[in-house]
Amino acid sequence: MEEKKRSRVRKTLKVEILSAFALLLIVGTAMSLGNSSGEGYVITVETDKYEYELGETVYISGVLTNDGLPVEGTAVGVQVDGPSGGHVFVAQVDSDVNGEYSVELGIPDEIPSGTFTEHGIYTITVAGSGTGAYASTTFLDSSPEDPKNI
């Protein structure tokens, strides 16, 4: 019984690792093309605000267009890197009929927690699969380093 459970965990972990790898390939390929607006393609990225506290949600959104027209059904890779450069969040979503996409990122109630290991400026990079378009922005986790010491 225990072996079956371990096997399921390993399979789940393999799928998650492969999914993260595929997403990093999408973002990496788009960025390696060296053109932030692609060939006619443009992608935007923004957050609902710049500064966040512990426990808040970062709302990430943007639009993918080609020659000014919305691009529907294209995979958009979203990657968030922490202040020291490590990945803290990766996701893939499809653009809708208006070329829009959005994801939510919950900041934990305390840091360090999970992949969030430090306070500071986080970088969001997005890329449209197969478009060559990518963009980035930043947000600040402005929570105090250790509330107990204030």
- pLDDT tens by residue, 7-63: 554 444 444 444 444 455 555 544 444 444 445 999 999 999 999 999 999 999 999
**Domain map (residue ranges) of the chain:** 2-149
Q: Which residues of 28-64 are buried (b: 16+ CB within 10 A; e: fewer)?
A: eebbeeeeeebeebbbbbbbeeeebebebebebbbbb
What's the pTM value of the predicted model, to 2 decimals? 0.72
- pLDDT tens by residue, 67-116: 999 999 999 999 999 999 999 999 999 999 999 999 999 998 888 888 88
CATH code for the part of the protein at 2-149 = 2.60.40.1930
